[in-house]
Amino acid sequence: NKSEIYKVKDFTDKHYAAPNKDMYGSLKGKNVIIIHLESFQQFLINKKINGKEVTPFLNSIYNSNHTYAFDNFFHQVGQGKTSDAENMLETSTYGLPQGSLFAQLGSDNTFQGAPAIFDQQGYATAVFHGNVDSFWNRNNTYKNLGYQYFFAASYYDTSGDKASGYGLKDKLLFKDSTKYLQHLQQPFYAKYITVTNHFPYDLDDKDQKDDPLTPPDTDDDAVNNYFLTAHYLDQSIKEFYKYLDKTGLSKNSVVVLYGDHYGLSNSENPSLAPLLGVKSNDWNNFDNAQLQRVPFMINSQSFTHGHVDHTYGGEIDVLPTLMHLMGISSKKYIQFGTDLFSKQHDQVVAFRNKDWVSPKYTRIGGTIYDSKTGKVIKPNAKLKKKIDAMQQQVNTELSLSDTLNSQNLLRFYHPKGFKAVNPADYNYSNELK
Ligand code: GP9
Ligand code: MN
């Protein structure tokens, strides 16, 4: 019921982290380009296989002083996978405990998320994606999020070998979408959702010819091929950056790159382990949790002091972080994440199943680990109290997010000056009208 919204708002108000003054507004007015790196895990960064970097271009971004990169950043998705990552990034609320929020609630719910917030700052907003528009119910959800444009599969030639399992290959997505991107009014907020680095990591021979990588030879083909499609994804980003440089867009844009979730599952991790220099015989839940790190990088030529930041955080934290960089206050909105640059940032990262990681302690399946050493901790009474309080906070946060979304409570909440989205304003069809 309606009064629940105040409980939620009370929690997020108390949890709110004030912006870092040195960072606030540092990217004001810039175009925002979000690049969703499908199934891309942090361990790929700076990784060499058979003497060769897997993702040399992304490494150059990661290591650049134009980039703030986070190496303790975790995905937090549930069964909604890509769509859960999108939901967290766009709204700073969690996906659902079961299923996909986009699929279950995206057609009807009220959102107060990034597309509408940027739109109301005078931005054009668009998504570029090589799969059919109905996948994960995006065609409906994006209207409720307030996206002005959605350039899905029907906007591109996906015939023959131009597509693989989940749609247009990444190099073609970046290339063939420029004709739409160049017509967007600036400033814009544009999201690219890549697909080629997706299980089962199939890649045609001809797409491996460019600067070929010799894959590892573990007993698991998915593990081996994962490096090849990641290598291809890296090249596609490099080509897109060439375009951004050539057109001058790189000068007045910020590019945000993130991995949406794991590519290799817990059952595949023991095959992966030797490649990471870790022993696989006593592989456990803590080791699996370590591999839920995904890249999060904010890259802009206006940054000159960028570096690798070790703050713990996750997908839920992206929206307040980005808004503050753009000089947009997040205070009046209901958001569960906190600005990664804020001194008050909450470093406890909740997974969708209520497990969590933090700089000192990690709790997986009821077992408490030392986050630095991975050793199991048997807490004394004082520590137990502390861990219980952390667990309570995680439970509350997830359950309030679920209440908010499952009861569609944002329809009762009216942030001052925010204009409610009208989904009927949008039509993503490319048929001549
Ligand atoms: C498909 C793509 C994949 O359009 O975004 O989604 P996933 O299977 O990773 O959730
Ligand atoms: Mn995905």
How confident is the model over 258-270, as pLDDT tens digits?
999 999 999 999 9
The residue type at 329:
S
Instruction: Report how far ligand 2's centroid is from the alpha carbon of 383 (Å).
Output: 37
What pLDDT, on a 0 to 100 scale, did the predictor assign at position 279?
A: 84
> Per residue in 217-255, is it b (16+ CB within 10 Å) or e — as a string?
ebebebbbbbbbbbbbbbbbbbebbebbeeeebbeebbb
What pLDDT, on a 0 to 100 scale, did the predictor assign at position 1?
A: 76
Of 166, 169, 294, the one to substitute when testing ligand 1's pocket (max ligand atoms within 8 A of C-beta) is 166
Rounded CA-CA distance 289/351 in Å is 10
Ligand 1 closest atom vs CA 100: 10
Ligand 1 closest atom vs CA 83: 10
pLDDT at 433 over 70: no
pLDDT, tens digit, for every residue of 170-189? Answer: 999 999 999 999 999 999 99
Instruction: Report how far ligand 1's centroid is from the alpha carbon of 108 (Å).
Output: 21
Q: How many residues does the chain have?
A: 433
Of 38, 96, 201, the one to substitute when testing ligand 1's pocket (max ligand atoms within 8 A of C-beta) is 38
Active-site residue, 82 included: yes
DSSP 8-state assignment for residue 293: B
What pLDDT, on a 0 to 100 scale, did the predictor assign at position 241?
A: 98
Instruction: Report how far ligand 2's centroid is from the alpha carbon of 166 (Å).
Output: 10
Instruction: Report how far ligand 1's centroid is from the alpha carbon of 234 (Å).
Output: 18
Instruction: Indicate if ligand 1 lies below 6 Å from the C-beta of 323.
Output: no
pLDDT, tens digit, for every residue of 394-424? Answer: 999 999 999 999 999 999 999 999 999 999 9
| From 55, 67, 82, 194, active-site residue | 82
pLDDT, tens digit, for every residue of 289-321? Answer: 999 999 999 999 999 999 999 999 999 999 999
Q: Relative to the alpha carbon of 80, which ligand is closest?
A: 1
Least confident residue range of 70-79, 129-138, 279-288: 279-288
Rounded CA-CA distance 361/374 in Å is 9
Rounded to a whole number of angstroms, the distance between the first and last alpha carbons of the chain is 41
Instruction: Indicate if ligand 1 lies below 6 Å from the C-beta of 135.
Output: yes
Rounded CA-CA distance 187/349 in Å is 32
DSSP 8-state assignment for residue 95: -
- The residue whose C-alpha atom lies closest to atom 5 belonging to ligand 1 is 82
Tokens (6 digits) for 7: 């409980």
Three-state SS at 420: coil
CA distances from 396 to 17, 135, 191, 243, 362 (A): 18, 31, 31, 45, 18
Instruction: Report how far ligand 1's centroid is from the alpha carbon of 82 (Å).
Output: 5
Rounded CA-CA distance 385/371 in Å is 18
pLDDT, tens digit, for every residue of 20-30? Answer: 999 999 999 99
Tokens (6 digits) for 140: 């409906």
pLDDT, tens digit, for every residue of 128-184? Answer: 999 999 999 999 999 999 999 999 999 999 999 999 999 999 999 999 999 999 999
- Alpha carbon 189 to chain centroid, angstroms: 15
Of 76, 195, 202, the one to substitute when testing ligand 1's pocket (max ligand atoms within 8 A of C-beta) is 195
pLDDT, tens digit, for every residue of 332-367? Answer: 999 999 999 999 999 999 999 999 999 999 999 999
Q: What number of other Cβ atoms are within 10 A of residue 190's Cβ?
A: 25
Instruction: Indicate if ligand 1 lies below 6 Å from the C-beta of 131.
Output: yes
Q: 3-state SS string over 240-262?
A: HHHHHHHHCHHHHEEEEEEECCC
- The residue whose C-alpha atom lies closest to atom 3 belonging to ligand 1 is 82
Instruction: Indicate if ligand 1 lies below 6 Å from the C-beta of 286.
Output: no
What pLDDT, on a 0 to 100 scale, did the predictor assign at position 281?
A: 85
- ipTM score of the complex? 0.99
The residue type at 424:
A
What pLDDT, on a 0 to 100 scale, did the predictor assign at position 179?
A: 97
Q: Relative to the alpha carbon of 83, which ligand is closest?
A: 1
- The residue whose C-alpha atom lies closest to atom 4 belonging to ligand 1 is 131
Instruction: Indicate if ligand 1 lies below 6 Å from the C-beta of 126.
Output: no
Instruction: Report how far ligand 1's centroid is from the alpha carbon of 79 (Å).
Output: 11
The mean pLDDT value of the chain amounts to: 97
Instruction: Report how far ligand 2's centroid is from the alpha carbon of 373 (Å).
Output: 30
- The residue whose C-alpha atom lies closest to atom 7 belonging to ligand 1 is 82
Ligand 1 closest atom vs CA 193: 5
Extract long-range pairs of 271-275: CB within 8 Å, 24+ residues apart.
Answer: 271/218, 271/219, 271/220, 271/223, 272/218, 272/220, 272/223, 274/218, 275/49, 275/216, 275/218, 275/223
Instruction: Indicate if ligand 1 lies below 6 Å from the C-beta of 128.
Output: no
Peptide bond preceding 216 in cis form (omega within 30 of 0)? no
